[in-house]
Amino acid sequence: MSENQQEINEQEINEQEIDEQPEAGRRFHINIHVILIAAIVLIVAFSAFRLYRWNKGVPSDYDPNEQTTAFDIEVMDSIIPLAPDKREGYVDDGVTTILCLGDDPFSLNQGENGLAEQIAAKTGAVVYNGSFTGTTIAMKNPTYQNWYYLDAFSFASVAQSLASGNFDDMRDAAAYSYDEAVPKTTEMLASLDMNSVDYLCVMYDASDYINMRPCDDPNAPYDVITYTGALRAGVKAIQDAYPHIRIVVMSHTFCHHVNEEGVFENGDRIDLGHGTLSHYLQKELDATMDCGVSFIDNFYGSVNEDNYLNYMTDYIHFNDAGRELLANRFVQCIFPDPDDE
């Protein structure tokens, strides 16, 4: 057999073997190729789709023209219990007694809806109101001068009088006041038995900011002509004389400054020379922490920039709802209901 004839025979045998293979087996080899091609097509299509979506981006809800005054806040309360050793040897009379010191929030609109009266109603405590209208925490002058009699009723001066028992400056200053409540309040404080007082609640509005009292002097932390210096000096005087008294400082709230044209200006945006309202707030918190006394943040936690229209009658004074809100904050922080979460 020639070589050509042999090759022809072998080719015919191979073709016959292929024809004799099962049909399913032959389709299997064809399907593998189809599947591979389909997978490649799908991968390319998916990649192209992802690239298209990436280039297109996603819709944004951001509106560059939107204006809002809403903001996230964190209330800066610092509630510190009185150390047990401060009451060692103290004989408790069994009556909860609170003395309130401050200015307009306590002194104005006294009566059933007054701030001190609401604290009394909500706590069941005996509450004394030792506040003076138009005063500040800091003094205007380093020492009392009768040409500016209000210095005698600043927190620094009142606290020193209570601690020492000397009310001469307050009585002298009361003679210059046209407010009939001033001499009465002075005599009430002079006759008050401080050993019966369990709590001292101190609250002044933003009068120190409005009257441009210096906020702080790092080189003189007890300087009574500065906001925080006077606060430290007054608190320390009470602590040294009556260590059994738990002192609670309630901060100022939001308010406006009224400029020379009579226009209301946001107190947290206008610096009158010693910082904005939030700067005074932070320094007040720092001072209370230095002294180890409780601090209730009313600037963020009570009457703020968002809700002040509901609680104020003008740029700085409170309505009945505002005083009730402040009273509730004091009670919730210092006399919390054990059943509340």
Q: What SS3 class is residue 159? A: helix
Residue 24: the pLDDT is 46
CA 293 to chain centre: 16
Amino acid code (one letter) for 59: P
Query: Quick check: 301 and 329 in contact, CB under 8 A?
Result: yes
User: Per-residue pLDDT for the chain (341 aa), expressed as one digit of tens each?
Assistant: 555 555 545 555 455 554 555 554 444 455 677 777 877 888 887 777 777 766 655 555 545 555 544 455 789 999 999 999 999 989 999 999 999 999 999 999 999 999 999 999 999 999 999 999 999 999 999 999 999 999 999 999 999 999 999 999 999 999 999 999 999 999 999 999 999 999 999 999 999 999 999 999 999 999 999 999 999 999 999 999 999 999 999 999 999 999 999 999 999 999 999 999 999 999 999 999 999 999 999 999 999 999 999 999 999 999 999 999 999 999 999 998 765 54
The candidate with the shortest Cα–Cα distance to 239, out of 79, 88, 86, is 86
Q: Which residues of 253-282 are buried (b: 16+ CB within 10 A; e: fewer)?
A: bbbbbeeeeeeeeebbeeebebbbbebbbb
Residues 6 or more apart whose Cβ sits within 8 Å of residue 197: 97, 98, 99, 128, 242, 245
The radius of gyration computed from the CA coordinates of the chain, to the nearest angstrom, equals 39
> What separation in angstroms does the CA of 215 have from each of 86, 225, 265, 286?
30, 9, 19, 12
Q: How many residues does the chain have?
A: 341
CATH of domain 84-334: 3.40.50.1110
Residues 6 or more apart whose Cβ sits within 8 Å of residue 123: 96, 98, 331, 335
Query: Quick check: 188 and 161 in contact, CB under 8 A?
Result: no
The candidate with the shortest Cα–Cα distance to 259, out of 269, 250, 249, is 269
**Phi, then psi, of 156 in degrees rounded to 5:** -60, -40
Q: Which residues of 119-146 are buried (b: 16+ CB within 10 A; e: fewer)?
A: bbeebebebbbbbbbebbbbbeeeebee
Q: Where are the alpha helices (DSSP H) in the chain?
A: 3-20, 23-56, 104-107, 115-123, 155-164, 168-174, 181-191, 207-210, 227-241, 277-291, 298-301, 320-334
